[in-house]
Structure 1
Amino acid sequence: MRYALVVLLLLLSPVPASAAEIGGFTLTARAAPVSVLLHTDLLPVPAEPQGEVHLSYTQTELGSGPIGRSLASSVWPGAAVGTGLPQLLGFAYPVQANASHPGGPADESKSGMRTTAGASKAESHAGAKQEVPFLLTADGLSSTSTSAVSATEARSVGVTSAQSISLLAGMVVMSGVRFESVAVSDGSKGSGTSTFSIAEFVVLGQKFPVRSPAAPPDGLLKALEPLGITVKWPEAATKLEGTAATSASRGLTLTVDVLALRTKLGLGGILDGVVAPLLPKELVPLLNPLRKMEVIVGDTQAAANASAAAPLTPPDAPAPQAPLVPPPAAGSSPPLGGTPPVAGVSPPKSVTPVASARAKPRSLLSFPGVPALLVVGGLGVAAACAFGMRSFGTFLLGGTPCPSGHPTGVPDLRVKP
């Protein structure tokens, strides 16, 4: 009886309610520590800029299905070249690592690049020392993009960092650079943050510590002006719209007027007055290959959007039905509000509102259509019948003593006589 009581108590205990889960979701993240945009008149490209290069570039995508993709490239020339080469030339851009789900590969690693992609997470990482003679040298360059989904939230993160970035053969040096964008959605609302920090600038040997991320240091713009360099300070913002969130940090933009810089450095007179007369007329434009160059330090973006899983409708919940209203007779006008009921026509019955689709926790005995009292009563009758059969068998086989004094009951057939 003790075991039967324990089993009965377990059956009557309520089932714990499960946590709400994420239904559909869409996640994207990208990060680039340094991007160089080139403006030139030599390339007949009807777009601005005519060329772009993103150093240590990473990107991830994750969506319902699930479908995941991650990309990492030490030198990424943009989507037009990076993904368009197979269609144009028949081979893929080599400086990249890719992973995808479910098609595969699940992960890929190359020098300074690493990618993984699965059903619930896509991640990419890129980092290596970058050097372009005279233009740029970067140490400790790194970026990571991550898109992941769990039972309660969908999250995208883009992070970039650099120990030092040197431009124009050391004329301008930045150190302690870090940008981060985070976007989260739990199916009911979106949230996110976007931050950046730069420790110090050095222009022609003069230091400019960054006291506040809200504005450039005093005197920095004046120090860059003689070099033909203008600065646009970074901007960080988060946009929330319902369950979606988008966070972005548009990095520090340094615009270099190459023609003005050439004049400041005294190279204009040498190239135009000495070298140009020695070259054929068709090659003279090569002396001015660039018109303008933009260097963007720190560029991150993360976007997340998710919806909660739809609750299941209980099978015993009746579907609401509209009351049947007899059609009006020909030539009669429709009844107005407050009109008394017509004789001989029964008014429509009131419809009981359907219970909420989110079912409350209930015990294991609340079977649809079977009352719990009937189940408990059936268990009790079964227990009483079992006890009665046992007592009746004892009475038939071993209930009364033998008049001759022999033992009663069922003999043990396992013992040999």
Structure 2
Amino acid sequence: MRYALVLLLLLLSPAPATAAEIGGFTLSARAAPVSVLLTTDLLPVPAEPQGEVHLSYTQTELGSGPIGRSLASSLWPGAAVGTGLPQLVGFAYPVQANAAHPGGPADESKSGMRAGASASKAESYAGAKQEVPFLLTADGLASSSVSSVSGTEARSSAVSSAQTITLLSGLVVLSGVRFESVAVSDGAKGSGTSTFSVAEFTVLGQKFPVKSPAAPPDGLLKALEPLGVTLTWPTSGTKLEGTGATSTSRGLKLTVDVLALRTKLGLGGILDGIVAPLLPKELVPLLNPLRKMEIIVGDTEAVANASAASPLTPPDVPVPQAPLVPPPADGALSPPSPGTPPVAGVAPPRSPVTPVASARAKPRSLLDFPGVPALLVLTGLGVAAAGAFGMKSFGTFLLGGAPCPSGHPTGVPDLRNG
């Protein structure tokens, strides 16, 4: 009895709702564990920064078509140089791996870089030890970007991480860095998450453990101030709009005032007081090549937008026609035989139509003229009678309306009596 009751409840329970099929979609993801932006007065470029470089950079794009593209670069100089270089010098920027669908290649791998693209997935990975003398050294630096679509979901994710990042020849050290952004769309709504974490800062040998990702550790900003370094704490969030989602983690930014740093390190007096007088006047600006430098750690972004597939409309089914039955010899309509099923699209015959001649049961009146009101007929007859009487009276007045002075008879003579 118990098993029968369970079976009955299973049969009566509604079927689980199924997710809508994905129709059109647009996906993108990008990640950069470390980015360096340079501002200089040597280049006559009105925009800032005048130079940029992204370490272990990855990017993917996937859209309806399907069209996919992925990029991985250990040292990416930005789209202006990395993409526009072939138009300038005739050959592609070499430090990159690319994949595309449907044009190809489907995948490409180089040292520390890997990219792949297909109809349903675009992914890229970059990771290697990076070192720029006197500027930074990064161990365990890596990033990955993935954009994929299935029958019921479109998803993008971007992850960047680093074990240790050493800046300015060891003056500042960051450890345990990880940023992640995920965006998802099922065609009806968007969702996403964005998180970041930094384990510890070390400034001039002093450690500052990060206890909460909401704010920098106490005393960290004051320790960076003598070096001419300004810290902007990272932010993360997800923006929902329609059926799409955009998740971003704006990385931790260290803004370095290069001139102030030179003074703090005691390099200003040496370069400006000793080296500058030995150089030609035209080469002196080269001693101060940078005015400002920005180092961004852990920048990620993921975008997903999809729409549900429209249901397929079945083709129009032709309406079956009733078979043509020849009329009887006498021309009368024969009623359908008993038991004949109705035909779709054909209305059943109604009761016999009464002939027009027999439908007029009421006799017509003498004043009933088709299309002319009786009052108008009577008015016309009255006007005609009045006109005839007037003409007769006028004729009598002209021909016999007064007596003759000689006593002869008046009126029109009777010509028939000769």
Q: What TM-score does the superposition give when structure 1 sets the normalisation length?
A: 0.72
Q: Distance in 2 between matches of 1:82 and 1:36?
A: 15
Counterpart mapping for 1:216-231 below 5 A: 216-231=216-231
The answer as to 2:262 corresponding to 1:262 is yes
Q: Distance in 2 between matches of 1:118 and 1:207?
A: 46
- Equivalent pairs counted in the alignment come to 305
1:315 deviates by 3.9
Whether contact under 8 Å (2:20, 2:186) holds in the other structure is: no
Q: Distance in 2 between matches of 1:223 and 1:312?
A: 65
1:361 equivalent in structure 2: none
Report the AA paired with residue 89 of structure 1.
Answer: V
Q: Distance in 2 between matches of 1:18 and 1:234?
A: 39
Considering only CA atoms, is the larger Rg found in Structure 1 or Structure 2? 2
Q: Distance in 1 between matches of 2:231 and 2:17?
A: 56
Q: Distance in 2 between matches of 1:206 and 1:100?
A: 47
User: Which secondary structure does the structure 2 equivalent of 1:180 belong to?
Assistant: strand
1:36 deviates by 0.1
1:67 deviates by 0.3
1:158 equivalent in structure 2: 158
1:313 deviates by 2.5
**How far does the alpha carbon of each residue in 1:372-417 deviate from its partner, in whole angstroms, 9 at most, with x for none?**
xxxxxxxxxxxxxxxxxxxxxxxxxxxxxxxxxxxxxxxxxxxxxx
Report the AA paired with residue 152 of structure 1.
Answer: T
Gaps of 5+ in 2: 1-15, 319-343, 345-418
1:237 deviates by 1.1
Q: Distance in 1 between matches of 2:26 and 2:233?
A: 30
1:314 deviates by 3.8
User: Which secondary structure does the structure 1 equivalent of 2:169 belong to?
Assistant: coil
Cα separation, partners in 2 of 1:189 and 1:317, compared to 1, 3 Å: farther
Cα separation, partners in 2 of 1:182 and 1:265, compared to 1, 3 Å: same
Whether contact under 8 Å (2:20, 2:187) holds in the other structure is: no
2:122 equivalent in structure 1: 122
User: Which secondary structure does the structure 2 equivalent of 1:187 belong to?
Assistant: coil
1:46 deviates by 1.8
Gaps of 5+ in 1: 1-15, 319-368, 370-417
1:79 equivalent in structure 2: 79
Q: Distance in 2 between matches of 1:53 and 1:23?
A: 37
1:19 deviates by 5.7
1:172 equivalent in structure 2: 172
User: Which secondary structure does the structure 2 equivalent of 1:169 belong to?
Assistant: helix
Q: Distance in 2 between matches of 1:125 and 1:64?
A: 23
1:141 deviates by 0.1
1:317 deviates by 8.7
User: Which secondary structure does the structure 2 equivalent of 1:289 belong to?
Assistant: coil
Whether contact under 8 Å (2:185, 2:245) holds in the other structure is: yes
2:332 equivalent in structure 1: none
**How far does the alpha carbon of each residue in 1:93-133 deviate from its partner, in whole angstroms, 9 at most, with x for none?**
00000000000000000000000000000000000000001
Q: Distance in 2 between matches of 1:291 and 1:242?
A: 43
Q: Distance in 2 between matches of 1:315 and 1:151?
A: 24
Q: What TM-score does the superposition give when structure 2 sets the normalisation length?
A: 0.71
Q: Distance in 1 between matches of 2:284 and 2:316?
A: 85
**How far does the alpha carbon of each residue in 1:177-236 deviate from its partner, in whole angstroms, 9 at most, with x for none?**
000000000000000000000000000000000000000000000000000000000010
2:199 equivalent in structure 1: 199
User: Which secondary structure does the structure 1 equivalent of 2:80 belong to?
Assistant: helix
Q: Distance in 1 between matches of 2:17 and 2:155?
A: 25
**How far does the alpha carbon of each residue in 1:332-367 deviate from its partner, in whole angstroms, 9 at most, with x for none?**
xxxxxxxxxxxxxxxxxxxxxxxxxxxxxxxxxxxx
1:326 equivalent in structure 2: none
1:18 deviates by 7.7
Cα separation, partners in 2 of 1:149 and 1:267, compared to 1, 3 Å: same
Q: Distance in 2 between matches of 1:17 and 1:170?
A: 57
